[in-house]
A and B are shown apart, each in its own frame.
Chain A
């Protein structure tokens, strides 16, 4: 679906449902961004093991430089029709003392480039799939 990512904004973004460690949440598709980014608070709720990360160090994100850790994260793209898809992505989790007020973002490199996707803006649909071209 599409909607503004933050209350008060007027520009719609693509927001898709995902699953991490057995819990569902949602993330904004950002083809101009990099990696998967989620707040340390969400990571804690979703039981992401903080000791599995590399860092902390400075990482450039959609919000500029943040201090955080790099992780390999297992995401499930939750399908409403067809089949859901498991994807391993590069994730950035900003440090707990860094206030990440934005929703989770799915950037291109290390995340969206790990599977195929297509967008039907007229019908508000996000298609995805894995596998290799024949």
Chain B
């Protein structure tokens, strides 16, 4: 299998295509530090190249710098529910709230329909 994408085109400014090819090869090989360095270097060399700048931004996100919200001890109830009901619900998608089952479904899409896209729920597939 080629490391290069099919069906995806990137703009090619004098050598920038080679840098992108090298980034993709590094990602496919698991050399993510190399991919990150190539992307950062490429974005510095071609600061107007949208794709290279996006690679550099995605592969080098900012460090977390601040805490932002209060604690939520209820998440432990949801995780306890998963532990207790794994055998019963394995393979299913579940939506929980404060340790109570809100909905379950065979697919993620079906679960979203059942919950109406409601926010604030704990959603996972029981693996």
Give A contacts to B, CB under 8 Å: 1, 3, 5-7, 15, 17, 22-26, 34-35, 39, 41-42, 44-47, 54-60, 65, 70-72, 76, 78-90, 101-103, 109-110, 114-115, 129-132
Q: Which residue of B lies closest to A73 (CB)?
A: B61
- Within the assembled complex, what's the spacing in Å between the Cα atoms of A15 and B78? 12
Q: Which residues does B use to contact A, with CB under 8 Å?
A: 1-5, 7-8, 24, 27-33, 36, 51, 54-55, 57-59, 61-73, 75-76, 78-79, 82-83, 86-87, 90, 93, 107-109, 111-112, 117, 119-127
Query: When chains A and B are docked, how far (Å) is the Cα of A87 from the Cα of B29?
Result: 26
CB atoms of B71 and A115 under 8 A apart = no
For B119, give the chain A residue with the smallest CB separation. A22
B58 and A72 within 8 A (CB): yes
Q: Of B33, B68, B93, which is in contact with the most chain A CB atoms at under 10 Å from its CB?
A: B68
B28 proximity list for chain A (CB < 8 A): 57-60, 65
A110 to B77, CA, bound (A): 29
Bound complex: CA of A45 vs CA of B121, how far in Å?
11
Q: Please, which residues of chain B bring their CB within 8 A of the CB of A109? A: 32-33, 36
Known contacts: A26-B79, A58-B24. The answer to whether A114 contacts B70 by CB under 8 A is no
By a CB distance below 8 angstroms, the chain B residues around A7 are 86-87, 90, 126-127
Contact across chains for B8 and A114 when beta carbons are under 8 A apart: no
- C-alpha spacing A25/B96, complex, angstroms: 10
A15-B79, A57-B3, A132-B65 known; A44-B32 Cβ under 8 A: no
Distance (whole angstroms) from the CB of A59 to the closest CB of chain B: 5
Contact flag A44-B112 (CB < 8 Å), given A24-B78, A87-B64, A88-B62: yes
Which residue from B64, B72, B122 sits with its C-beta under 8 Å from A86?
A: B64
A-B contact sample (5 more), CB < 8 A, given A58-B3, A84-B72, A110-B61? A15-B79, A17-B72, A26-B79, A70-B27, A80-B75
Check A85–B68 contact: CB distance below 8 A. Answer: yes
Q: Nearest chain B CB to A10's CB is how many angstroms away?
A: 13
Known A-B contacts A22-B119, A83-B69, A85-B67; the reply to A42 vs B108 at CB < 8 A is: yes
